[in-house]
Structure formats: structure tokens, C-alpha cells
Amino acid sequence: SEFETMVGQGKLQGPMLVQRFGKSIGSEFIREDRAGENVMRIVQINRFEKHATRWIFIFYRTPTGWCVNTFYFDDKIQALFPSGG
């Protein structure tokens, strides 16, 4: 439900995002990191015509499989580099 809420907010903010970033032109997988056997982080970017946003998804392994524990996005592309920009 948290993800659905964020999608709904994204639709409301869509016109503002298009004006600032341009149209969405796809996404790119950046990396996968694991912390032990039960926690995983996936980092990807959403590509726009004028800008990119960084998306981070944290997954937790439950007895029935992986579930999204938390996720967020920002425009801190410099954080994708080892030195943090």
C-alpha cells in the first residue's frame, strides 16, 4: 500500500516533474548489495530527458520470500560514485 500511495502522489506531481526533468525515457540498473543472507539493496536510476533520479529499494527475506522493506528516491546522482561525488 505504501508503494501504491507513492505512485498516486507521483501521478499528481507528474506535470511538475515533466516540466523540470523532461519525459521519462527509461531506467537503468546500477547495482545490488547484500548485507548477510536476509537483506538486499537494489539501486537504479530513472532516466529523464534532462535529469536522472536515484531509486533505492531495500528488501528483506521473509519465510515466504523477499519483500520490499523500504524504498525512496532522490536526485543525488553524485552518491552513485564511490567517493560520493
Blockwise average pLDDT, block size 10, the chain, 85 residues? 68 77 92 97 95 94 94 91 74
Exposure letters 58-69 (e unless 16+ CB within 10 A, then b): ebeeeeeeeeee
Tell me the C-alpha to C-alpha distance, in Å, between residue 8 and each of 15, 30, 41, 66, 85.
Answer: 13, 25, 24, 24, 32
In this prediction the pTM is 0.77
pLDDT given for residue 6 in this prediction: 66
Q: What is the per-residue pLDDT for 10? A: 67
Q: In 3-state terms, what secondary structure has residue 6?
A: helix
pLDDT at site 3:
65
Answer whether 82's CB lies under 8 Å from 70's CB: no
